[in-house]
Structures are given as C-alpha cells and as structure tokens.
C-alpha cells in the first residue's frame, strides 16, 4: 500500500497483517483521486472508517489542509499514527464508532470518505447522520466504497458512480432545496 501522488508520492504505508482488512486497491485509489483532484487543495477531509489512514493521508499528500481520521479499532488507531508519522503529517485521530464520530467531530467538511467493512451496510445511516449533524459543506461530497448498490436517502442525490470489478465508488451530494 502506497501513496499514489502529491508530496508523499511513493511512500509505502504500514498495513494490517492478514486478510481481514481490505485496503482500497491502488488502481481504484488512483482513479478516485483523479476524480477528486480539483476538490483537495485546502480541503477539510473526514476519513470516517480510516483503517490504515491511507485515504486521508493521500488527501494530505495532494494538498488537503486538514484530515480527521476515525476508526473504532485500537489496531487501526495505532496504524494511523504510525503512517502519519512516516508521512511527517499531523491529523486529528479519533477512536469512535461512525455515529459517535459524526455526533462529536464538530464543524463541516469539504469531503467525507467512507470505506467501511463491506459486510456492513452503513450507507443510509451514515448519510442521514451527516445531514442531521450538518457535517458536509454545501458543495461538499461524500465518497462511499462498497460492493453492493446503494440508493441515497431522500435528502441526498447520487452525483456519480464508478465500478472497478467488485468495488463500487458512490459520490453523494446533499439535495438542494
């Protein structure tokens, strides 16, 4: 697992041992960040299901002003810290379940990255909580990775969807009233 582009291009990140954790494949990450490139400079980013922190660190590498990392796993929190240190970056790191994080994190984000375990279906609840707590800026974007199709809740619209084999990336925006 490595940083694809930006000031940390080529940096190899520490990753989990074993096969229980599924990092976003490099080809998917490369395509995703080509799509997001115009949104990253100066952005405030929330990496909601951080795992190793690779997606949030990629954002920092490409010019994001701030990244907040969240994961419920103690092992993930340790790995995020290790990877931030390797990249000589700082970021706020929280150990919460996604609902508690969204309730407590404070402020609004330009970009919210959601790469939860595929066996779980958090999309509707995550989007509802983001709206409930006003965590996304008016022109912000939620990026959600899954293996299954996702229909947005009523106050949300699907602005784009990309498929890479089994992996699907959904881009959600708040519906304008």
The CATH number covering residue 117 comes to 3.40.50.150
What is the number of alpha carbons within 13 Å of residue 121 lying toward its C-beta? 7
Q: Is residue 15 part of a domain?
A: no
Question: What confidence tier does 104 reach under pLDDT thresholds 50, 70, 90?
Answer: very high
CA 116/CA 50 separation, integer angstroms: 8
Number of independent structural domains in the chain = 1
Question: What confidence tier does 95 reach under pLDDT thresholds 50, 70, 90?
Answer: very high
Q: Is residue 91 part of a domain?
A: yes
Angle between helices 74-86 and 54-61 (to 10 degrees): 20
Question: What confidence tier does 22 reach under pLDDT thresholds 50, 70, 90?
Answer: low
Mean pLDDT of 157-173: 94
Domain that holds residue 99: 26-174
Q: Which residues contact 17 (CB under 8 A, 6 or more apart)?
A: none
Q: Is residue 1 part of a domain?
A: no
pLDDT of residue 19: 47
Cβ density class 24-37: b for 16+ within 10 Å, e for less? beeebbeebbeebe
**pLDDT by residue (tens digit) across 125-150?**
999 999 999 999 999 999 999 998 98
Do residues 7 and 61 lie in contact, with contact meaning Cβ atoms separated by under 8 Å? yes
Q: Is residue 93 part of a domain?
A: yes
Does position 18 have pLDDT exceeding 70, yes or no? no
Does position 15 have pLDDT exceeding 90, yes or no? no
Q: Is residue 11 part of a domain?
A: no
Q: Is residue 21 part of a domain?
A: no
Q: Is residue 13 part of a domain?
A: no
Q: Is residue 47 part of a domain?
A: yes
Does position 20 have pLDDT exceeding 70, yes or no? no
Mean pLDDT of 113-119: 87
Which of 164, 125, 117 shows the shortest CA–CA distance to 142?
125
pLDDT of residue 26: 73
Q: Which residue has the higher pLDDT, 96 or 5?
A: 96
């Amino acid at each position: 697992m490595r940083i694809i582009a930006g000031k940390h291009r080529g940096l190899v990140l520490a990753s989990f041992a074993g096969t229980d954790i599924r990092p976003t494949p490099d080809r998917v990450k490369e395509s995703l960040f080509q799509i997001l490139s115009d949104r990253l400079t100066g952005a405030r980013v929330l990496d909601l299901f951080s795992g190793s922190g690779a997606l949030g660190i990629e954002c920092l590498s490409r010019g994001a002003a701030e990244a907040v990392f969240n994961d419920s796993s103690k092992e993930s929190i340790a790995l995020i810290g290790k990877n931030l240190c390797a990249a000589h970056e700082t970021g706020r790191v929280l150990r919460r379940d996604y609902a508690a994080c969204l309730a407590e994190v404070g402020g609004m984000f330009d970009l919210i990255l959601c790469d939860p375990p595929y066996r779980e279906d958090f999309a509707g609840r995550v989007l509802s909580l983001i709206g409930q707590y006003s965590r996304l800026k008016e022109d912000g974007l939620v990026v959600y990775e899954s293996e299954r199709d996702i229909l947005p809740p009523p106050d949300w619209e699907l602005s784009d969807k990309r498929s890479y084999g089994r992996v699907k990336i959904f881009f959600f925006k708040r519906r304008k009233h």
